[in-house]
A = this chain, B = another copy of it.
Amino acid sequence: MNPTPPPPPRAPPAPVPETACRDCPLRPLKLFHEPTGEELELVQSLKRRERRLVPGEVLIHEGQTDAPLYTLLQGWAFRFKTLSDGRRQILSFLLAGDFIGVQQKMGDAAAHGVETLTDALACVFQRDALWELHRRSPMMGFNVTWLTAHEESMVDDTLLSVGRRSAEERIASLLILLFKRAGALQLDAGAGGVAFPLTQQHIADGLGLSLVHTNKTLRKLERHGLHRIAEGRLYLRDVKALARLADLYGDGRPPPRPLV
């Protein structure tokens, strides 16, 4: 079917100074709820350390039993599952502000792996942070539920794509969705495109397509002037046409969401 080569290994990260939650680089983005001082303190108290990662580094191994909780502070990553013969499906892409590891419910084995696409920085929380969050702040607990539900609805979208959209449609919708997410995180909106660290293999694995067919479809859309990917950036040339292809409805800015 569709095996995927093993991820590229690289040198381990060097130690770095820590960021205080109150100085979290993500807060100024007004993409998130304004936390109270108490909430900030609570999160800070649960944060164990930071972890700096290089591209292709595995944050959580499939089947790992003791994975901690993370919040991605910088960079891109993705969640994935693999079949025993190597076929891989990327379940979702993770960007700054995404919460990682709620799925491996309590002491259970991680049902999916997490790997970085770029250099990245992640907050590491102690294993019982999830419970502490709920126990000590119902609001933060509620936020975690919200984030988890939000994450699920992104997987729902992908499942719709992979199950029912053609290759062209899948790619169009992925490009639009990632463009929006990445755009929301960078100060200057879409003008000069957004950073786009995926290889075609990642796109293929995220959409249930083969590498070759992904390439051909991507080229076709590009030839028709719908988009362009160059030097690690994505430019949408004809959002209308892409949206039409993708059969995407909603377009409003995403509502503010919690940050843990």
- CB-CB under 8 A from A136, the residues of chain B are 138
Stretch at the interface among A12-20, A100-108, A116-124, A191-199: A100-108
Are A81 and B134 in contact, CB atoms less than 8 angstroms apart? no
In the bound assembly, the distance between CA atoms of A154 and B223 in angstroms comes to: 38
Contacts A89-B164, A207-B163; A138 near B134 (Cβ below 8 A) = yes
Interface size class of A (residues with CB under 8 A): 35 or more
Are B142 and A208 in contact, CB atoms less than 8 angstroms apart? no
In the bound assembly, the distance between CA atoms of A106 and B106 in angstroms comes to: 26
- CB-CB under 8 A from A163, the residues of chain B are 89, 162, 205, 207-208
Please give me the 8 A-B residue pairs with the lowest Cβ-Cβ distance, nearest first: A163-B208, A152-B152, A89-B163, A87-B164, A134-B142, A141-B141, A134-B138, A148-B148
Are A145 and B165 in contact, CB atoms less than 8 angstroms apart? no
The binding surface of chain A is classed by DSSP as helix
Residue of B nearest to A158 (CB): B159
Residue of B nearest to A137 (CB): B138
Residue of B nearest to A250 (CB): B109
Q: Choose among B2, B112, B157 the residue that contacts A164 (Cβ–Cβ < 8 A).
A: B2
What is the minimal beta-carbon distance from A84 to any residue of chain B, in angstroms? Answer: 5
In the bound assembly, the distance between CA atoms of A163 and B1 in angstroms comes to: 11
Q: Choose among B84, B88, B112, B139 the residue that contacts A247 (Cβ–Cβ < 8 A).
A: B84
